[in-house]
C-alpha cells in the first residue's frame, strides 16, 4: 500500500503540473484553455482525493509519516481546490450576467500551481528528502 501511495504521489505532482502549465500557456497566448481544461480539473481533484484516501488508510493501518508536515502538504491541495471553487462561484455571482473580472479557469490554474508546490513538498517529505 505504501508503494501505491508513492506512485500515486508522483502522478498527483504530474497532474498538477499539467494544469498550471496549461493555464500559464493560455494566459501567455491570451486565450482560454478550452473545454478540456475542465476535464483536467476533474481528473486533478479525483487523483488528489484518491491519494488522500490512500493516505488515510495508511494512517489507519498505523503507518505514520516521518514528518507531520507531510499531512499538511498532502491534504493542502484539497483545501486549495475547495477555496478555488468558492472563489470561482463568487466571481460568477458578482458578475451577474457580465463577464467576471477574472475567468474561473485562472482561479483553477492558480490552484493547480499552489497544489503542485504542496504536493511536491508532500512527495519530498514522504521520500525523506528535506
pLDDT in tens, 6-55: 999 999 999 999 999 999 999 999 999 999 999 999 999 999 999 999 99
Give how many domains the chain has, as a whole number.
1
Q: Is the dihedral of CA 113, 46, 52, 14 positive or negative?
A: negative
End-to-end CA distance of the chain: 23
Mark residue 74 as left, alpha or beta (left: phi above 0; alpha: psi -120 to 50; beta: remaining).
Answer: alpha
In the structure, what pLDDT confidence band is assigned to residue 103 with cuts at 50, 70 and 90? very high
Q: Which percentage of the chain shows pLDDT scores above 70? A: 100
Question: What does the block give as the cell for 125?
Answer: 517529505
Q: Is it the case that residue 115 has pLDDT exceeding 80?
A: yes
Q: Is it the case that residue 95 has pLDDT exceeding 80?
A: no
Domain housing 103 = 2-127
Amino acid at each position: 500500500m505504501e508503494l501505491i501511495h508513492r506512485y500515486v504521489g508522483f502522478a498527483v505532482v504530474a497532474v498538477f503540473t499539467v494544469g498550471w502549465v496549461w493555464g500559464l500557456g493560455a494566459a501567455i497566448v491570451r486565450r482560454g484553455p478550452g473545454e478540456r481544461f475542465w476535464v483536467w480539473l476533474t481528473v486533478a481533484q479525483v487523483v488528489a482525493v484518491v491519494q488522500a484516501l490512500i493516505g488515510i488508510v495508511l494512517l489507519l493501518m498505523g503507518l505514520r509519516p516521518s514528518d507531520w508536515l507531510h499531512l499538511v502538504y498532502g491534504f493542502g491541495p484539497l483545501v486549495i481546490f475547495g477555496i478555488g471553487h468558492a472563489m470561482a462561484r463568487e466571481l460568477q455571482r458578482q458578475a451577474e450576467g457580465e463577464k467576471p473580472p477574472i475567468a474561473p479557469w485562472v482561479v483553477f490554474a492558480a490552484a493547480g500551481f499552489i497544489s503542485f508546490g504542496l504536493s511536491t513538498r508532500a512527495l519530498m517529505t514522504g521520500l525523506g528528502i528535506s
